[in-house]
Amino acid sequence: MSEAALNPAAPPPLAVGEPRNGETEAPAWDLEDIVARLRAVRQRWREAQHRDRERGGREFPSLAALQTVMEGLAGALFPMRLGPADLRQESEDFYVGHTLDAALYSLRHQIALELRYAHRHETAAASPLAAKQEADRIAAAFAAALPEIRALLDTDVEAAFRGDPAARTVDEVVLCYPGLLAVIHHRIAHQLYRLGVPLVARIIAEIAHSATGIDIHPGARIGASFFIDHGTGVVIGETTVIGDRVRLYQAVTLGAKRFPVDEDGGLQKGLARHPVIEDDVVIYAGATLLGRITIGRGASIGGNVWLTRSVEAGSNVTQAHLQHTAHEASGRP
């Protein structure tokens, strides 16, 4: 129903390009022309991308919808800390059930959009029914993994509490630590990535990236008891493998050293190009580790170190150590 029907006293809506807010002159811009030119640009892009003009509606997942899904999932995983302010323990299960039901229904729809999008652009077109059935399967598998995800997140919370002397309680970690927020999103995104919906997973990862400044690709494999202290500027690449009880500080980069190209000059996708970090490693602020190198168990990588070679278990690598090693290799006295 229109606004005029709801409120007869309301002024009639202004046409596009009419003066508004009491102004008497028309705007200086030619809105009709701009809209037409934007339509032409969109059409050129769609033709170049071989998009079907006859398809209507949204064709890929929604950032706004997935933000709402993540709020619901986080609340369901930690109801008394990330749920509503007036929640009481006696109604905790009801809240979790109601919130999960809504979040999973919405997530299933976003998954179906990605599956249909992928089929249109990568393989033969899938029917809406086939996409829905596959989305049902993925959403059900994801839902069944939520208790395991919560248990894994509990180890991350404990690691943050034990690893930071400023943390007074585990509740403070859940409520206040951006590293934990990023890890909540990553545990969820990684599960969806494994289940075959990388675009939905990537959007969820980017929601956390925008909120925290921590960029974790959903493909990265991260073990239990993972702690990112402070967090801003941390980058963890797609093929990174991180063991148990690893601690990172702000501005750490676990990145690729080079990007091989194929015979047509395009970047090769999916190659293992990021570091392997074994158990009990600590990497201090500003360190940059590049390429498929291995950081051995229990090693400590100092602040601002630039590292492109593997490190043995138990090593203590600092800038001074690297400078001494480079000096010895040069043969200079």
Enumerate the CATH 1.10.3130.10 domain ranges in the chain, comma separated. 59-213
- Are the CB atoms for 268 and 217 separated by under 8 Å? no
Q: Is the pLDDT of residue 71 over 70?
A: yes
Q: How far apart are CA 286 and CA 305, in angstroms?
A: 7
The pLDDT value given to residue 270: 77
Q: Is the pLDDT of residue 21 over 50?
A: yes
**For the segment 283-298, what is each residue's pLDDT rounded down to a tens digit?**
999 999 999 999 999 9
Mean pLDDT, the chain, rounded, equals 89
- For the sheet with 247-248, list strands across it: 227-228, 247-248, 282-283, 300-301, 316-317
CB atoms within 10 A of CB 89: 8
Q: How far apart are CA 295 and CA 288, in angstroms?
A: 12
Q: Is the pLDDT of residue 267 over 90?
A: no
* Alpha-carbon distances of 123 from 118, 120, 145, 184, rounded to whole Å: 7, 6, 29, 32
Question: What integer is the mean pLDDT of 256-270?
Answer: 79
Question: Two tokens at 195?
Answer: 């289940």
Question: What integer is the mean pLDDT of 109-126?
Answer: 78
Question: What integer is the mean pLDDT of 101-107?
Answer: 98
Question: What integer is the mean pLDDT of 117-144?
Answer: 82
- Are the CB atoms for 212 and 200 separated by under 8 Å? no
Q: How far apart are CA 20 and CA 159, in angstroms?
A: 57
Q: Is the pLDDT of residue 83 over 90?
A: yes
* Local confidence band at 258 (pLDDT 50, 70, 90 cut-offs): confident
State how beta strands 247-248 and 227-228 pair. parallel
- Which residues lie below 8 Å from residue 137, measured CB to CB, with a gap of 6+? none
Among candidate residues 96, 92, 94, the one with its CA nearest the CA of residue 74? 96
Enumerate the CATH 2.160.10.10 domain ranges in the chain, comma separated. 233-260+270-333
Question: What integer is the mean pLDDT of 118-125?
Answer: 65
Identify which has the larger pLDDT, 261 or 222. 222
Question: Two tokens at 325?
Answer: 């090693």
Question: What integer is the mean pLDDT of 94-102?
Answer: 97
* Local confidence band at 13 (pLDDT 50, 70, 90 cut-offs): low
**For the segment 135-194, what is each residue's pLDDT rounded down to a tens digit?**
999 999 999 999 999 999 999 999 999 999 999 999 999 999 999 999 999 999 999 999
Question: Two tokens at 168?
Answer: 């007074």
Among candidate residues 159, 153, 158, the one with its CA nearest the CA of residue 78? 153
Q: How far apart are CA 101 and CA 76, in angstroms?
A: 10
CATH class of the domain comprising 233-260+270-333: mainly beta
* Local confidence band at 3 (pLDDT 50, 70, 90 cut-offs): very low
Instruction: Give percent above pLDDT 90 in the chain.
Output: 73
* Local confidence band at 132 (pLDDT 50, 70, 90 cut-offs): confident
* Local confidence band at 262 (pLDDT 50, 70, 90 cut-offs): confident
* Local confidence band at 120 (pLDDT 50, 70, 90 cut-offs): confident
Q: Is the pLDDT of residue 1 over 50?
A: no
* Backbone torsion region of residue 33, taken as left when φ is above 0, otherwise alpha when ψ lies between -120 and 50, otherwise beta: alpha
Among candidate residues 269, 264, 293, the one with its CA nearest the CA of residue 281? 293
Q: Which CATH number fits domain 59-213: 1.10.3720.10, 2.60.120.620, 1.10.3130.10, 3.10.450.40?
A: 1.10.3130.10
The pLDDT value given to residue 2: 47
Buried b (16+ CB within 10 A) or exposed e, 273-311: bbbbbbbbbbbbbbbbbbbbbbbbbbbbbbeebebeeeb
* Alpha-carbon distances of 186 from 94, 215, 222, 257, 286, rounded to whole Å: 26, 10, 9, 23, 21
The pLDDT value given to residue 136: 96
**For the segment 202-243, what is each residue's pLDDT rounded down to a tens digit?**
999 999 999 999 999 999 999 999 999 999 999 999 999 999
Question: What integer is the mean pLDDT of 76-104?
Answer: 97
